[in-house]
Amino acid sequence: MAGSVLILVAAFLWALIGVFTAQLFVEGMAPMEIAFWRALLAGGLFIGHGLLGRHLRLRRGGDALWFGLFGVFGVALFFSAFNFAIETGGISLAVVLLYTAPAFVALLAWLILGESLGPKKVGAVALVIAGVTLVAFGGGGSGVSVSAASLAWGLTAGLGYASFYIFGKFYLLHYHPVAIYAYVLPVAALAILPFVEFSPKSTTAWALIAVLTLLSTYLAYLVYYLGLRNIEASKASLLASTEPVMAATFAAIFFGERLGMWGIIGAAMVVAASLLVVRRRRRVKVD
């Protein structure tokens, strides 16, 4: 029960990312600056946590290079693209497209890891393609803008998010999650920095950055992995898939967003596909 509750708490905190980000847009902050502060400050929190828990020792010299590559091509890409997806298309559309990640995982695992691409995975990929097509051609609604830009940024965010699973398959066996984020988040911040135009910030903006960093990044990742230690990964993925539903609800309440009817059907297909590719596997114990 405790593990399930922690996973649901993580999904709730992730679902708030869109609300905090959209409000930061109102405060005049650009997508890249939001991504920079999120990566930098959350990285600092994970470094502090790692130092206290003595989790930061590199076990193999070559791992530093892979952490750096993941920080640039995984975390920086995901944080930035997701913000642009929210800016160009709205929260609901961005989160729906983010959940194309499991389909990307199936394809990447087939191409990179040599995993089999069986009928279930092929069906999930086809379901995602059909769902995204419905969203693209009939997803527009109140406060939701379906365009080439919003679709491209949302799918890019899904691809970046998929890299978390591929990377984690190798490194969660050898490193505590706190150590991974302590290394990759500062690298992501450095990768984003050249593209940032800093703007004057109000007290409200700094407060939003703080809660986005503390609640929806540091705490969300932390409670997710704590929960994952106590329940099966398949059940965790199922519970985490409540995130797009909660995010769409928050978008409707705070910003009046509504997907069109075909967009809702397409969104349901994307989420269904993400559940289809979940497989039962043993829990990973990390120290």
Angle (CA) 220 192 107, round 5° = 65
What pLDDT score was predicted for residue 140?
A: 67
Least confident among 85-99, 110-124, 220-234, 271-285: 271-285
What are the Cα distances from residue 28, in Å, to 21, 137, 176, 200? 11, 31, 36, 8
Short-list 169, 70, 49, CA closest to 113? 169
- Grouping H, G, I as helix, E, B as strand and the rest as coil, residue 244 is helix
* 131 neighbors 244 (Cβ within 8 angstroms): no
pLDDT at 12 over 90: yes
Short-list 139, 148, 156, 104, CA closest to 273? 104
What pLDDT band is residue 37 in, cutting at 50, 70 and 90?
very high
* 173 neighbors 108 (Cβ within 8 angstroms): no
Compute the average pLDDT of residues 42-55. 94
What pLDDT score was predicted for residue 33?
A: 98
What are the Cα distances from residue 160, in Å, to 100, 174, 229, 252, 280? 10, 22, 24, 26, 23
CA 16 from centre of chain: 12
- pLDDT, one tens digit per residue, over 233-281 is 556 666 777 888 889 889 989 998 888 888 888 888 888 877 776 654 4
Which position has the token pair 């009939």? Answer: 138
pLDDT at 228 over 80: no
Distance in angstroms (rounded) separating the CA atoms of residues 246 and 263: 16
Residue 284: DSSP 8-state = P
Q: What percent of the chain has pLDDT over 70?
A: 91
What pLDDT score was predicted for residue 232?
A: 65
Compute the average pLDDT of residues 58-75. 88
Distance in angstroms (rounded) separating the CA atoms of residues 20 and 34: 10
Burial letters 70-99, b for 16+ CB under 10 A, else e: bbbbbbbbbbbbbbbbbbbbbbbbbbbbbb
CA 137 from centre of chain: 24
What pLDDT score was predicted for residue 286?
A: 40
- pLDDT, one tens digit per residue, over 168-224 is 777 877 888 899 999 999 999 999 999 999 999 999 999 999 999 999 999 999 998
Work out the mean pLDDT of the chain and round it to a whole number: 86
* 32 neighbors 80 (Cβ within 8 angstroms): yes
Q: Which residue has the higher pLDDT, 232 or 14?
A: 14
What pLDDT score was predicted for residue 145?
A: 85
Q: Which residue has the higher pLDDT, 238 or 52?
A: 52
